[in-house]
Amino acid sequence: MTIDDPFEPSLMKRHREMMEKYQRDQDALWQNSTALRAIDDYARRGSISETMAAMTRFDDSMSLSAVHPHSVIDPYNVTTSQWLRAEEERIRALTFVEMATPRLDIAALTGFTTHANATRLLANPLHDATRLGLDALSLQPAVTAALAARQGYEDLYRLPSLVETTKLLQETLAVQSAADRYGIELSAGALTTSMQAMQSPWMHPDHAFLSVRSFTEIYAIGESLRVSNPFEDGISAALRTSIGDWRTVTALPDAIFVEPSARTSFYQELGFDLSIADFTAPAFDEATALAGLGLEIEGESDDEEDADVLRSERATRQFQRFERRFRKWLNTMMTATYGPNWIKHRVPGALVQAWKESREKEVRAGLPQRELLEYADWGDYITILVRNDNWNDIFKPIFTRQEAVKESFTRIIPVRHCVMHSRLVTQADDLYARVEIHRILRAIERIV
């Protein structure tokens, strides 16, 4: 089906009706997502009896007759995450198109994308709608309209000329204090070269100055993390003006782990400047890579790891490798100072007990036993690092201040949770991951 004008009134009316029906169906399907995941998890373990029992429970509770009761959604499939990222960009696109086109039903389209994400639709929505037992044909106009809206949003961006880039950059550097805030030298020549190296359109015609300012901020963050100590007071303070001040965060709201909008609002309340991440996905990836904040983490890799991580998206792969590297470094540092039994003497007993219980649970499920430290949650690392004896003996020279390391590690928790549980990852999440992963790696690599 070809749509010349996705905003034509009769089409949008039909679209709203379809979205209402689709949203009702997706609400019902979402209620059964726990059962679907249980079926999938049992099947992965090869437990036929448990799988069949879970399917029976799912049949009994199924309220959406259009969905085949034995359709299993695979939340670990690599294309799932690619679709989720595309859907996030579509939501952002629709938000911007709303400003220029009031006729567009943003609520309906956002509802479509939100519930599509919730049910883990894969890269081809029409194919996977059929796979889930939904009426694929009824979704085609909505998908086409959403794609058209996203394309319209991306078409707003363009590649600036060298003359325009130079002029806007001069104006930006004249009024922006990024260099002073981060305590670095920002070379206009190097910045211009990076901007001209962009292959994806990145400048918004109506907000050209803001685009240049955001690019410059990303570049300044990347440059600042190249210094000898990325946790020094000046850099920590400068990052708070860009990505938020997390020093007072003692608990994370449950909603931010489920709803991207709640997470974004939470970030904004802490002072995150959303304009920094206001690029199309390809341009954002390019800009951060040029700033030295690319996601590819070089390091140890073997066939077993690659086979495992290829089931998920790039971000999942990088988080896995990053956490493995950090855990190995932590074990090396603690063992060198306190000996091989450091967990017994330098980790709170409650944490050790929780790790042992997690290990016992996995072993009972027939999974191979791993090293005890591998059962630690990300927040457990904070406890180990800032414990007074560990901090004074090892970590203070590396991370400077306890509040800085707590802040850095806490910023990672929401996006890590979303990545590891196959939830939608926004570009704000992405920026947090890029900044703090590179920051932590630079800090520990000065020691190893």
User: Average pLDDT for residues 422-433, to the nearest whole number?
Assistant: 87
For residue 263, give both structure tokens.
Answer: 């997470």
What pLDDT score was predicted for residue 425? 83
Provide the residue ranges of all domains of the chain, joining segments of one domain with +: 9-155, 162-252+260-290
Tell me how far apart the alpha carbons of residues 2 and 438 are, in angstroms, rounded to a whole number.
44
**pLDDT tens-digit map of 211-259:** 999 999 999 999 999 877 899 999 999 999 999 999 999 999 999 998 8
What pLDDT score was predicted for residue 98? 40
What pLDDT score was predicted for residue 56? 56
Q: How many CA atoms lie within 13 A of 46 on its CB side?
A: 3
Residue 349 has pLDDT above 80, yes or no: yes
Strands (E), 345-407: none
**Which one, of 56, 35, 34, 85, lies nearest residue 313 by Cα?**
85
With bands split at pLDDT 50, 70 and 90, how would you rate the model's confidence at 281?
Answer: confident
Residue 273 has pLDDT above 70, yes or no: yes
**pLDDT tens-digit map of 145-177:** 666 666 676 778 899 999 999 999 988 888 767
Tell me how far apart the alpha carbons of residues 167 and 17 are, in angstroms, rounded to a whole number.
49
Q: With H, G, I as helix, E, B as strand and everything else as coil, classify residue 203.
A: strand
Share of the chain above pLDDT 90, in %: 47
For residue 134, give both structure tokens.
Answer: 């939904």
What pLDDT score was predicted for residue 69? 36
What pLDDT score was predicted for residue 52? 56
What pLDDT score was predicted for residue 149? 65
400-410: b or e for each residue (b if 16 or more CB lie within 10 Å)?
bbbebbbbbbb
Residue 97 has pLDDT above 80, yes or no: no
Question: Mean pLDDT for the chain?
Answer: 75
Q: Identify whether the C-beta of residue 89 lies closer than 8 Å to the C-beta of residue 280.
A: yes
**pLDDT tens-digit map of 172-216:** 888 767 888 888 888 889 999 999 999 999 999 888 999 999 999
What pLDDT score was predicted for residue 150? 62
**pLDDT tens-digit map of 393-408:** 999 999 999 999 999 9
Share of the chain above pLDDT 70, in %: 60
Tell me how far apart the alpha carbons of residues 395 and 399 are, in angstroms, rounded to a whole number.
6
What pLDDT score was predicted for residue 187? 85
Q: With H, G, I as helix, E, B as strand and everything else as coil, classify residue 169.
A: helix
What pLDDT score was predicted for residue 139? 55
User: Average pLDDT for residues 309-338, to the nearest whole number?
Assistant: 82
**pLDDT tens-digit map of 53-84:** 555 555 555 443 334 333 333 433 444 444 44
**pLDDT tens-digit map of 106-144:** 444 444 444 444 333 333 444 444 444 555 455 566 656
What pLDDT score was predicted for residue 46? 47
What pLDDT score was predicted for residue 311? 30
The amino acid present at 201, given as its one-letter code, is P
What pLDDT score was predicted for residue 300? 46
**pLDDT tens-digit map of 360-388:** 999 999 999 999 999 999 999 999 999 99
Radius of gyration over alpha carbons of the chain, in Å?
Answer: 24
